[in-house]
Amino acid sequence: SQQGEEDPQALSIQEGENATMNCSYKTSINNLQWYRQNSGRGLVHLILIRSNEREKHSGRLRVTLDTSKKSSSLLITASRAADTASYFCATAFSNTGKLIFGQGTTLQVKP
């Protein structure tokens, strides 16, 4: 069953602007991961944040995790047209690799 809710469902911004996506989940987690999916393609792993971490950076990506609110956010700074894709958060309850995905946010970056 799905665990995560993401908002917004769709986001349209201009190139150069920042994009923020939020994810909420329902149960305790081991870690939370963000993935990107280009239309009709497989998933690309972006970043992982463990339950004992609060913030993590990777290039233009910044992820926060608030376990008290059971929520996470993904910030993409200085967006590019090539960032246009769907973004999913996924929660892991253990280290088995099993993931439960959120509903996803479709991001459109206009050149």
Partner 1 sequence: GAVVSQHPSWVICKSGTSVKIECRSLDFQATTMFWYRQFPKQSLMLMATSNEGSKATYEQGVEKDKFLINHASLTLSTLTVTSAHPEDSSFYICSARDYQGRGVEAFFGQGTRLTVV
* Residues in touch with partner 1 (CB under 8 A): 1-2, 30-31, 33, 35, 40-45, 48, 88, 92, 95-104, 106
CB of 57 to partner 1, least distance (A): 16
Our CB check for partner 1 shows the closer of 46 and 76 to be 46
Inter-residue contact 86 to 107 (CB < 8 Å): yes
Minimum distance, C-beta of residue 16 to partner 1, in the bound complex (Å): 27
Residues 6+ apart with CB under 8 A from 52: none
Q: Which is nearer to partner 1, 2 or 14 (CB)?
A: 2
We find the least distance from the C-beta atom of residue 14 to partner 1, in angstroms, to be 23
Which residue bears the tokens 């993409």?
76
Residues 6+ apart with CB under 8 A from 76: 18, 19, 20, 60, 61, 83, 107
